[in-house]
């Protein structure tokens, strides 16, 4: 359709929750497990809330909101910084989950927060 990325893309992740079942967290989840818990899902914590399942990493562009790339095969415990959807030469806006922030990064984060906002809503 001739749509091109002009101002950059926003990379962000969201949780895809799965049924944790009734077994304790340290119960093995092999093929012999007697639980309905997902065998690949993991626990992750965001703030004070815990999630069980997976993460969806998406990369919509800033101009049209079209999702240019996504990754769904990661467990919830995989840190956001381990998934890089960017292409060479592409301007990518990410939140602090993708890298540790220095003071300069924190100031930059404040300046670009409005640019990242469309990706946060995807």
C-alpha separations of 87 from 55, 96, 99 in Å = 20, 19, 17
How far is residue 113's CA from residue 95's CA, in Å, rounded to a whole number? 8
pLDDT at 29: 61
DSSP code for 87: -
- From the CB of residue 22, how many other CB atoms can be counted at a distance below 10 Å? 9
pLDDT at 23: 59
pLDDT at 58: 92
List the chain pLDDT tens, one digit each, 122 residues.
Answer: 666 667 888 888 989 988 777 656 666 566 665 656 667 788 898 889 999 899 999 998 888 888 889 998 789 999 888 899 988 888 888 877 777 778 888 888 788 877 777 656 55
- Domain ranges in the chain? 9-120
Helix and strand element counts for the chain (H, E): 1, 5
pLDDT at 54: 92
User: Is 64:2 a contact under the CB 8 Å cutoff?
Assistant: no
Look at residue 39 and give its three-state secondary structure: coil
Q: pTM of this prediction?
A: 0.67
DSSP code for 27: S
């Amino acid at each position: 359709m001739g749509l091109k990325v002009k101002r950059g893309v926003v990379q962000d992740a969201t949780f895809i929750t799965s049924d944790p079942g009734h077994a304790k967290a340290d119960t093995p989840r092999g093929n012999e497990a007697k639980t309905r818990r997902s065998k690949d899902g993991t626990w992750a914590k965001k703030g004070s809330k815990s999630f069980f399942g997976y993460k969806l990493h998406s990369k919509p562009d800033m101009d049209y909101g079209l999702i240019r790339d996504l990754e769904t095969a990661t467990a919830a415990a995989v840190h956001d910084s381990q998934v890089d959807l960017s292409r060479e030469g592409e301007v990518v806006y990410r939140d602090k989950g993708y890298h540790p922030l220095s003071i300069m990064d924190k100031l930059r984060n404040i300046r670009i927060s409005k640019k990242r906002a469309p990706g946060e809503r995807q």
